[in-house]
Amino acid sequence: MGFTFQFIIRLFLTMLLSLVLTPIIKIFAFKIGATDAPSERRINQTTMPTAGGLVIFISFTVVAIFESWATPDFERTMWILISAAIVVLTGLIDDIKELTPKQKTLGITIGALIIYYLADIGFHTINIPFIGTFQLGWLSLPMTLIWILAITNAVNLIDGLDGLAAGVSMIALATIGLVSYFFLPGYGVFLAILIFSLIAAIVGFFPYNFHPATIYLGDTGALFLGFMIAVFSLQGLKNATFISVLTPMFILGVPITDTVYAMIRRMFNKQPISSPDKMHLHHRLLSLGFTHRGAVLTIYAMALAFSFIALLMNHASTSATILLIIATVIGLELFIELIGLVGENRQPLMQTLKFIGNRRYRQEILNKRKK
């Protein structure tokens, strides 16, 4: 009970530190030119300070060092913070002077290599239901790099509305924290402490970032949060199972869905995969008449639904999990087609259902006429 109370106090102090730091970082962002000017691709009407992720990174770093000091996990935590600092620096440079996708990828990759080699976090084995356990061998490194790069960029892509990436990240982190605490033996408790410390740092920043925002996360924050989510989720995947791999994928269902469908959309339109557009999930909701806050809260609800499914998967049998996945994929595809995320004329599932329905209707009419 004493430890729990002390931990709650530390979380409150972390939140308070983030709350106090944010106005200072706002001034600093303007001084170094980390700003976001209005443009066709931007929602903001005035020049906004970015680099808000510095607030979260500094607050989290302070508490992470304090929590891990004089523990067996101190060295690993320091390597995580060093790799995160490289990603934050990459994002900060991009907020000041826009980097190319290759340059940003290089920064994230350097951080990911530190995570794999020095923090010893990554895929090593995988257990596939009904088949068996496999040692990944040389595939371990590329799978780890792909995982970190994919999730980091997925979170970065959804950072298009006030409070969107921060809110979705808090939901994802809270779910990963719960899974770590209850389902990951040994290191899971300390991992949960780090995760909820990061959430506290985001909470202190959040009032300045929710609509109407006075500061943005910027690539500094979006890349940092995506990177930390990827790293935290990986720590339960050293000996990956079917469920342990799917759990973080479902927890991050919103950014992963937005990224996958963006790639599909650009392939259909014969555009480069890295080319920007205004057809992301939040753009489509706004175009359908949702208010700024309404679109953000809708996506929060989607993130919560994905997280709830992820938690259910950890209690369900393998066959039940497979049925749950199939139902989720069908429901998600219907939603995507309804809002036109790939394109208003690309609705394969809806067209198939209409065809089946019309065919049954025509058959019923013929049967009545025969009678």
Q: What is the pLDDT of residues 154-170, one digit of tens each?
A: 899 888 889 999 999 99
Is the pLDDT score of 37 beyond 90? no
> What is residue 211's predicted lDDT score, i.e. its pLDDT?
87
Q: Which long-range contacts (CB under 8 A, 24 or more apart) does 242-248 make?
A: 242/127, 242/128, 242/129, 242/318, 242/321, 243/313, 243/314, 243/318, 243/321, 245/126, 246/310, 246/313, 246/321, 246/325, 247/179, 247/310, 247/313, 247/314, 248/151, 248/176, 248/310
Q: What 3-state class would DSSP assign to 204?
A: helix
Is the pLDDT score of 236 beyond 70? no
127 bridge partner residues: 133, 241
Extract the tokens encoding 209.
Answer: 């970032």
> What is residue 180's predicted lDDT score, i.e. its pLDDT?
85
Secondary element (H or E) of residue 239: strand 239-241
- Higher confidence at residue 235 or residue 197? 197
Q: Tell me: the pLDDT tens digits for 168-192? A: 999 999 999 988 888 776 778 899 9
Mean pLDDT of 31-58: 83
DSSP state letter for 315: T
Mean pLDDT of 248-270: 84
* Range 146-164 burial, b when 16+ CB lie within 10 A, else e: ebbbbbbbbbbbbbbbbbb
Is the pLDDT score of 262 beyond 90? no
Q: Tell me: the pLDDT tens digits for 65-96? A: 999 988 888 999 999 999 999 999 999 999 99
- Higher confidence at residue 370 or residue 156? 156
Is the pLDDT score of 239 beyond 70? no
Q: Give the residue extent of every domain in the chain.
A: 2-370
- Higher confidence at residue 361 or residue 324? 324
Is the pLDDT score of 244 beyond 80? no
Is the pLDDT score of 1 beyond 60? no
> What is residue 142's predicted lDDT score, i.e. its pLDDT?
93
> What is residue 199's predicted lDDT score, i.e. its pLDDT?
97
How far apart are the C-alpha atoms of 12 and 57, rounded to whole Å?
A: 16
> What is residue 341's predicted lDDT score, i.e. its pLDDT?
79
- Higher confidence at residue 88 or residue 280? 88
What pTM value is reported for the model?
A: 0.89
- Higher confidence at residue 90 or residue 274? 90
> What is residue 128's predicted lDDT score, i.e. its pLDDT?
63
- Higher confidence at residue 239 or residue 151? 151
> What is residue 361's predicted lDDT score, i.e. its pLDDT?
61
